[in-house]
């Protein structure tokens, strides 16, 4: 299944529809569009989406933004579901100020991901394409 790029950004940015799930429970969020950011080290989730899952923070950490400033953050463990596939035990940072899910390399490195810029869509592949 393909996910369209978001035209809310210039240039448009790849997205995937994700559902957040509590690791050891039944709580989950509705599907949300998440930004694919291959330059981000970590996955960020708005804190307001983590609250209903009632998942406890695992630990506190320090995060440095791309501008160089540091801030304290809370790290949580969730399962991420995309297109019916559940990816267990993903560490995510609670973003107290942002409103978008940002998928960073700590999660993206689990995927075979096709970013099709000309068609402005992204796909998760089940296997590597055959080279011709």
Give me the residue spans of the domains in the chain. 2-125
Give residue 78's pLDDT: 94
> Which uninterrupted H or E stretch holds 45?
strand 43-46
The pair of structure tokens assigned to 88 is 């267990």
Find, among 118, 100, 82, 123, the residue nearest to 43 by Cα. 100
CA distances from 7 to 25, 33, 36, 84, 115 (A): 35, 12, 13, 25, 15
Give residue 106's pLDDT: 97
Q: Is 2-125 assigned to CATH 2.40.70.10?
A: yes
Give residue 130's pLDDT: 86
Dist CA 113 CA 91 (whole Å)? 19
Whether 32 and 21 have beta carbons less than 8 Å apart is answered as: no
Dist CA 61 CA 59 (whole Å)? 7
Give residue 123's pLDDT: 94
**Contacts with 77 (C-beta within 8 Å, 6 or more apart), sequence order:** 23, 55, 58, 89, 90, 91, 92
Give residue 49's pLDDT: 92
pLDDT along the chain (132 residues), means of 10: 92 95 84 95 94 80 87 93 93 92 97 96 90 78
């Amino acid at each position: 299944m393909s996910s369209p790029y978001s035209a809310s950004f210039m240039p448009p940015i790849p997205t995937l529809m994700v559902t957040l799930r509590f690791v050891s429970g039944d709580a989950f969020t509705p599907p949300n569009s998440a930004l694919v950011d291959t330059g981000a080290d970590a996955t960020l989730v708005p804190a307001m989406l983590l609250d209903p899952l009632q998942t406890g923070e695992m630990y506190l950490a320090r995060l440095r933004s791309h501008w160089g400033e540091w801030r304290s953050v809370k790290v949580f463990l969730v399962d991420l579901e995309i297109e019916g596939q559940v990816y267990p035990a993903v560490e995510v940072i609670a973003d107290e100020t942002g409103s978008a899910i940002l998928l960073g390399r700590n999660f993206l490195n689990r995927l075979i991901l096709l970013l099709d810029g000309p068609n402005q869509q992204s796909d998760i592949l089940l296997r590597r394409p055959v080279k011709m």
